[in-house]
């Protein structure tokens, strides 16, 4: 039996899906809270769901525990069944722009591009190296988050800096989460029975970005040259005045690497709340902890600010607003707070639909009176990657 394994290493998680040759999901799961005090290995196999708490100190260690768990639970009889492993990669830099096979050469390109996605690429690289160690015979591919944003117009991808330096160093907005924003564009069109849609996709997970979609194409997105830009995230600051960086470096005696670590790993929800990067932890304490509540308010405000800008960018009738990813799919409070901050449009959330946790791939959460329909669509990057991967070696 030949299987395709899809690995989606996020900033604090490894999502995995094991597909059959015919692209049916046979088992899936997620390793969450990697590098935090307690990790969770969630497993979904033959209708049985399991959550196993254990320390997951590194990505390498997480892969080790995953692979042995698959054999232990009978998900695979032997490692040789896994013929293909496909990795989602945030940004492969200038040399890796479309789907590529994992080779010594592409690994070295990926190593060169670690600083283009400093939170994700190191985890993805660690995952690739670990899986190569455990599954040396499997064919492996890399799939990039930047591809969907190739359609950004110059006016959206250009930073207002010195043109010569920007061109020389390829400094521009690349945009990320493209695999899922693309899926959301297609899925929304399917739901609304249209050829293509105008929509704003809000991919809100630990990392988070919004995408303005016109006629099914990305016309703007909130992440930039790296995934540090845009809205406030779990540990990333999102947009700040760039002058803040040298100022902090000077007064706190920090190196560039230390300053970037501060913005990528110690800011956002974690940095502002001083509690946690995980929004579930914030909900637990925000009743008594006013700083945690303030962090939440700042979080939803930053999302709403981008949402109204992107709604305004779309020319023509807007078909939908779509929430997706970890927080977008699960957090009714965040969705309601974001929508309540949009005053220029008459948007109305249906409280019951918004709070309903029992839905398959999508749900409508707006009332009939709402000026625009608002959906929650579960992220489906993995199926897209599986399709790409299975077609890759057929070519
Ligand atoms: P990434 O892939 O960037 O690591 P995810 O899309 O997996 O991020 O989202 C992780 C975030 O989703 C975490 O902050 C977590 O708190 C949140 N999350 C996950 N499950 C739930 C849930 N059931 N309720 C609320 N938030 C959730």
Is the pLDDT reported for residue 39 higher than 80?
yes
Question: Nearest Cα to 236, choosing from 205, 210, 214?
Answer: 205
Q: In what order do the strands lie in the sheet with 208-214?
A: 217-221, 208-214, 199-204, 320-324, 374-377, 362-364
Q: How far does residue 278's CA lie from ligand 1's centre (Å)?
A: 7
Q: What is the pLDDT of residue 332?
A: 98
Q: How far does residue 29's CA lie from ligand 1's centre (Å)?
A: 14
| Closest atom of ligand 1 relative to the 283 alpha carbon | 25
73-119 confidence digits (pLDDT tens): 999 988 889 999 999 998 877 788 788 999 999 999 999 888 777 76
Cite the annotated binding site by residue number: 8, 15, 88, 203-207, 278-280, 326-330, 381
Q: What is the pLDDT of residue 323?
A: 98
Residues with a CB atom less than 6 Å from ligand 1: 10-13, 205-207, 234, 278-280, 325-327, 330-331
Question: Would you place residue 121 in the very low, low, confident or very high pLDDT band (cuts 50, 70, 90)?
Answer: confident
140-192 confidence digits (pLDDT tens): 999 999 989 989 999 999 999 999 999 988 899 999 999 999 999 999 999 99
Structure tokens at 105: 């050469």
| Closest atom of ligand 1 relative to the 13 alpha carbon | 4
Is the pLDDT reported for residue 130 higher than 80?
yes
**What global pTM score does this model have?**
0.85
Q: What is the pLDDT of residue 115?
A: 74
Measured by CA distance, the residue closest to atom 20 of ligand 1 is 326
Is the pLDDT reported for residue 27 higher than 80?
yes
Cite the annotated binding site for ATP by residue number: 15, 203-207, 278-280, 326-330
Q: Are 193 and 367 in contact (CB under 8 A)?
A: no
Q: What is the pLDDT of residue 151?
A: 93
């Amino acid at each position: 039996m030949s299987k395709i394994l899809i690995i989606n290493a996020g900033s604090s998680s490894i999502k995995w899906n094991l597909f059959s040759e015919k692209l049916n999901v046979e088992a899936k799961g997620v390793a969450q809270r990697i590098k935090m005090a307690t990790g969770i290995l969630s497993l979904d196999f033959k209708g049985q769901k399991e959550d196993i708490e254990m320390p997951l100190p590194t990505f390498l260690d997480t892969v080790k525990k995953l692979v042995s768990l698959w054999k232990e639970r009978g998900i695979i009889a032997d490692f040789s069944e896994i013929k293909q492993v496909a990795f989602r990669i945030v940004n492969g830099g200038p040399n890796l722009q479309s789907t590529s096979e994992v080779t010594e050469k592409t690994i070295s390109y990926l190593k060169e591009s670690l600083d283009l996605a400093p939170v994700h690429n190191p985890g993805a690289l660690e995952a690739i190296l670990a899986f190569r160690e455990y599954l040396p015979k499997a064919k492996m591919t890399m799939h990039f988050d930047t591809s969907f944003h190739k359609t950004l117009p110059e006016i959206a991808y250009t930073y207002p800096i010195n043109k010569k330096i920007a061109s020389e160093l390829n400094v521009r907005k690349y945009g990320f989460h493209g695999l899922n924003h693309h899926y959301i564009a297609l899925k929304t069109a399917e739901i609304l029975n249209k050829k293509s849609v105008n929509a704003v996709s809000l991919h809100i997970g630990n990392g988070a970005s919004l995408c303005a979609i016109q006629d099914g194409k990305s016309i703007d997105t909130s992440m930039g040259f790296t995934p540090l830009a845009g809205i406030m995230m779990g540990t990333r600051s999102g947009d700040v005045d760039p002058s803040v960086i040298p100022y902090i470096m000077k007064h706190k005696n920090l190196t560039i690497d230390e300053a970037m670590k501060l913005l990528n790993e110690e800011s956002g929800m974690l940095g502002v709340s001083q509690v946690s990067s995980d929004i579930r932890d914030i909900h637990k304490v925000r009743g008594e902890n006013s700083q945690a509540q303030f962090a939440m308010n700042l979080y939803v405000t930053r999302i709403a600010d981008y949402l109204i800008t992107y709604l305004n960018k779309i020319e023509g009738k807007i078909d939908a607003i779509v929430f997706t990813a970890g927080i977008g799919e699960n957090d009714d409070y965040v969705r309601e707070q974001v929508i309540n901050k949009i005053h220029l449009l008459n948007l109305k959330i249906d409280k019951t639909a918004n709070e309903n946790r029992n839905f398959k791939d999508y749900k409508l959460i707006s009332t009939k009176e709402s000026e625009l329909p608002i959906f929650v669509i579960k992220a489906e990057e993995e199926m897209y990657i599986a399709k790409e991967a299975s077609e890759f070696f057929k070519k």
